[in-house]
Structure 1
Amino acid sequence: MKESSFKKITIEDQQAIEFYLHKYSTFCLSAFTFSSLVAWESIFHYQWAVMEDTLLIKFVPLEKKQEHFMQPLGEFPPNLQQQIIHHAQSLGYALTIFGISNAFLAKYSEFASHFVQAEHRDMDNYIYLAEDLALLPGKKYQAKRNLLHQFEKNHTWTSENISVENIPACLEVINTIYSQQELDSNSFLAFELRALTFILTHFPRFQEMGILIRINAKPAAFSIFEHLNSSTAVVHFEKAIRQYKGLYQLVNRETAKIILKKGYKYINREEDLGIEGLRKTKLSYHPLELCPAHALVFKR
């Protein structure tokens, strides 16, 4: 496997990479979208190559210093499988392949037998019924409905689709939110700000959708989401000014309403990264299931 075959993911690579993402990535993990890959490239150092009609993506996870792989997408013939195994044998560390689907494990069991399967609960994706998040039905969502009722009683608000014209308003929301926090340049919040700013700056280039919430005509919250597969939309970002109690619940509901109206049955709200508060919030919306993010660790 030639290292020279790999190159940094840039926005100009969209068409070539999306060909494989759309054709072969039919499962539920949010990382397999071009916008996510290119927005986080400067943090995870994503590189890509196509070998034997297979998309290979390697990157450097935050907690590690070595390069690892994401699940190959494409034909992935035996010859390429052997190349990856030989590459793993040549390394001074245990190569890990992240984002492995159940279908991959079943189809390439011989290849997988050279690895130990590992689970990464922090990276499991939360999958919800779009109808649940749009309508918040039943007793289990009573607390969410109460917060929404309180918000709507106290505030006049509007919702609009994100477009080139109101991207500056979204950036205004970001500046308000992040200016209230002390950001270490190597913190996850700083990385997230970099990725989010990239997405908004290049918004017209992607197949992204989004809504902007205004309170008394002032920008206050927004979300960014996109098509993941035929039945699922993925919400990449959701931001709200915290001084408005119930605003996060509002942007969540309004996003779900649009996704449901567009015909999607499910909503992927990504992972919790092991952050306790984030996990508590995601669980409070009663996910239908967690999409497992398997990993394969090479047997040295």
Structure 2
Amino acid sequence: MEISSGKPLELSDKPIFDKYLNKFPPNISELTFSNLFIWKNYYDFLFLEWENHIIIYAINFFKNWGKSIAGNNDSIFFLPPIGLTPEKIILKLFKELENLEIHRVPEMVMKKLHTEKEFERLNLRVYEDRDNWDYVYEIKNMVNLPGNRYRQKRRWLNKFLELYNYDFHVISGDLIKKTLELQLEWCDVTECQGNEDLMEEQKAIETAIEHYDEL
């Protein structure tokens, strides 16, 4: 695989991602086109199609933002390949490239990796990344907020219902503009201008709102 052949994500690439993601739905929140697109400038994501999979990576990720598990900031950051056999593509990447780390790998892909003979031959190491685990809640618990575990959340909800009248609306038209205004107001209230991470999040949210209909 030629690393230099990767290209930055553009809105025009959405059909390519949709083709793969509709057929192979992601198990992690990062692997959606919307998320990748709104954060593309922050992480400098590149992608290419290789061996009937989408490969997403960032060459300078560890130099600028993230922490290399191996302690090598020259390593290339990869997200899990999107396609039929990501475990086989992961092994091919490690055979063809040097200094790479693949992050956010779902558990089911890891289980398949462990069954591959090449996994042991390549002497690959696996680490849990609890800081980046997705939150998973049962729908019934979010609807009913049962028991002592959700007592505080029930209080917050009841307080909201007492204090405010509310309506639910699908975001469209003028509401998109109002959503952006609310986000800018939130940024001022939280003084996000003084926090680099919050400012990058602000930029990502603005990108999402600006391209709401396309995404």
Q: Give the TM-score normalised by the residue count of structure 2.
A: 0.82
Mapped partners of 1:173, 1:77: distance in 2: 40
Given the superposition, is the C-alpha separation of residues 5 and 132 from structure 1 closer, same or farther in structure 2, using an over 3 Å criterion?
same
Counterpart mapping for 1:122-141 below 5 A: 122-141=131-150
Counterpart mapping for 1:1-300 below 5 A: 1-27=1-27, 29-59=28-58, 60=61, 62-64=65-67, 66=74, 67-76=76-85, 83-89=92-98, 94-109=99-114, 110=116, 111-113=118-120, 114=122, 115-184=124-193, 187-206=196-215
Aligned 8 A contact 1:53 1:74 in 2: yes
SS in 1 for 2:137: strand
Structure whose residues are more often helix by fraction: 2
Runs of 5+ unmatched residues, structure 2: 68-72
Given the superposition, is the C-alpha separation of residues 182 and 143 from structure 1 closer, same or farther in structure 2, using an over 3 Å criterion?
closer
The amino acid across from 2:128 in the alignment is E
Mapped partners of 1:56, 1:141: distance in 2: 40
The amino acid across from 2:12 in the alignment is E
Aligned 8 A contact 2:192 2:199 in 1: yes
Mapped partners of 2:209, 2:86: distance in 1: 38
Shift of 1:186: 6.9
* Identity percentage of aligned residues: 24
Mapped partners of 1:100, 1:171: distance in 2: 33
Shift of 1:161: 1.7
Shift of 1:107: 2.3
Shift of 1:80: 5.2
Which stretch shifts more, 95-104 or 35-44? 95-104
Mapped partners of 2:164, 2:172: distance in 1: 24
Aligned 8 A contact 1:9 1:47 in 2: yes
Which protein, 1 or 2, shows the higher relative CO under an 8 Å CA cutoff with sep ≥ 6? 1
Aligned 8 A contact 1:53 1:76 in 2: no
Instruction: Write the deviation string for residues 12-41 of structure 1: whole angstroms up to 9, x where unpaired.
Output: 1011012222222352x1011110011100
Given the superposition, is the C-alpha separation of residues 138 and 120 from structure 1 closer, same or farther in structure 2, using an over 3 Å criterion?
same
Structure whose residues are more often strand by fraction: 1
Given the superposition, is the C-alpha separation of residues 77 and 96 from structure 1 closer, same or farther in structure 2, using an over 3 Å criterion?
closer
- Aligned CA RMSD, in angstroms, stands at 2.4
| Corresponding residue pairs, total | 201
Aligned 8 A contact 2:80 2:90 in 1: no
Shift of 1:4: 3.2
Aligned 8 A contact 1:48 1:56 in 2: yes
Shift of 1:205: 1.1
